Amino acid sequence: MINLEMKEEVVKIAKKADQMELCRHKSGNFSVIDRKEKLIYITPSGISREDLTPEKIIVVDMEGNIVDGNLQPSIETSMHITAYKIKPEAGGVAHTHSRYSTIFACMGKEIPPVSIEAIHYGGKPVKVAEFAPPGSKKLAQTIVEPMKESDVCLLKYHGVIAVGEDLEKALIKLIYVEEVAFLYYHMLALGQKEFMPLNLFDAILNG
């Protein structure tokens, strides 16, 4: 059965990401999963967030076949499906082209946890998935390795992706990745070479 609330949730978070300038115009994609029905609710391809309404959210099965909706699902649907398969506890997936995060994605440089804000996504370095063209099956596979021990990763020359218990929590992780990327960028610009020791995160996480 199709769940209207899930469609509304995808629209709400997609628009929020846009308002926060984590993605612009048509870039970025967002989804939630109904684990019981094995259905994914995802943003359509080629629609600006300002024109996005719950009716435009596409419902696909775990193979990417359209179950409900009149538009094409996001070209990154297979990446979302892969994320749900490798993260069985995930309820939402968010992908944006957040500016500072994408600088490091384009440089192929992981983002170390330079401030305690990284705790919001596990306190680990954000790794970079190898490059594959947007929308390709290969891109979906590139996230498997870097997301093994993390809920977030950078997509080389492209952007950033996060999974969360729900879609809002996935977006919050992207907000904090962007914040840490912003800090790290400026620390590098000021010539800083030493960063917060990783074992401090272990200490914080283990209380």
The DSSP bridge partners found for residue 32 are: 41, 92
Active-site residue list: 76
Q: Which amino acid is at 51?
A: D
Considering the complex, state which of residue 52 and residue 114 has its C-beta at the smaller distance from Zn ion: 52
Tokens representing 54? Answer: 């719950």
CB of 129 to Zn ion, least distance (A): 12
Of 60 and 96, the one with the shorter C-beta distance to Zn ion is 96
> Which of residues 15 and 26 has its CB atom nearest to Zn ion in the complex?
26
Residue list 122-181, contact with Zn ion (CB under 5 A): 159
Summarize as ranges the residues that interact with Zn ion (CB under 5 A): 159
